[in-house]
Amino acid sequence: MDITLTIIGQSVAFFVFWWFCAKYVWPLFMDVMNERRQKIADGLEAAARAEEDLELAQAKSTDQLKEAKVEAAGIIDLANKRGSQIVEEAKDQAKEEAKRIVAGAQADIEQEVNRAKEALRAQVSAIAIAGAEKILEGSIDQAANEDMLNKLASEL
């Protein structure tokens, strides 16, 4: 085995290459890989956060949906109440109207009856006079009986 200066040459090369690697090669990869690790970690974190956000949003939307349903139910209730109220009011009004119409009609009827009574009264007195004239045939004093007949007519 022949040991020569080569052994020293190789030792020097060893240290020089080590120095070069430590200074110019290793940090390049170290940086790149650390950066990538950071990137991946960030990505995973972001994904986790997004998932959380999604859950939150879903919970929120469910809540809102519930609220909306409650609100809608309230509105429907109110509308129903208002509707029945309107119907009640309309009924009352209709009853009132009907009463008024009936009252009007009764007044009309009374008027008609009165008018008919007046007419009848007038005619009855005339008929009675005519009848009495026929019976008494002029013996009766027209003027003396006029008052008596008028009293009779007003009593009818």
Partner 1 sequence: MAELAEAAHAAAEHGAESQTVQEYISHHLSYLTYGRFPDGHWGLAHTIEEATEMGFMSIHVDTMGWSLFLGAAFLLFFRHIGKRATTGVPSGIQNFVESIFEFVEARVNEGFIYKNPYVAPLCLTVFVWIILMNTMDLVPVDWIPEIAMAVGGLWGLEHMSFKVVPTTDPNITMGMSISVFFLIIYYSIKSKGVGGFLSELAFHPFGKWMLPFNLIIEIPTLFAKPISLGLRLFGNLYAGELLFLLISGLLGVYQLPAHFVWAVFHLLVVPLQAFVFMMLTIVYLNAAHEPVEHH
Q: What angle do CA 135, 148, 133 make, to 5 degrees?
A: 20
| CB-nearer residue toward partner 1: 45 or 118 | 45
Return residues touching partner 1 (CB under 8 A): 1-11, 13-15, 17-18, 20-22, 24-26, 28-29, 32-33, 35-36, 39
Kindly write down the DSSP assignment for every residue of 86-141, as one continuous string. Answer: HHHHHHHHHHHHHHHHHHHHHHHHHHHHHHHHHHHHHHHHHHHHHHHHHHHTT-S-
In the complex, least distance from residue 42 CB atom to partner 1, rounded to whole angstroms = 11
| CB-nearer residue toward partner 1: 10 or 139 | 10
Q: d(Cα 16, Cα 28) in Å, to the nearest integer?
A: 18
5 secondary structure, DSSP code: T
| CB-nearer residue toward partner 1: 40 or 68 | 40
In the complex, least distance from residue 47 CB atom to partner 1, rounded to whole angstroms = 17
| CB contact at 8 A, 153 and 124 | yes
In the complex, least distance from residue 6 CB atom to partner 1, rounded to whole angstroms = 4
In the complex, least distance from residue 11 CB atom to partner 1, rounded to whole angstroms = 5
| CB-nearer residue toward partner 1: 15 or 142 | 15
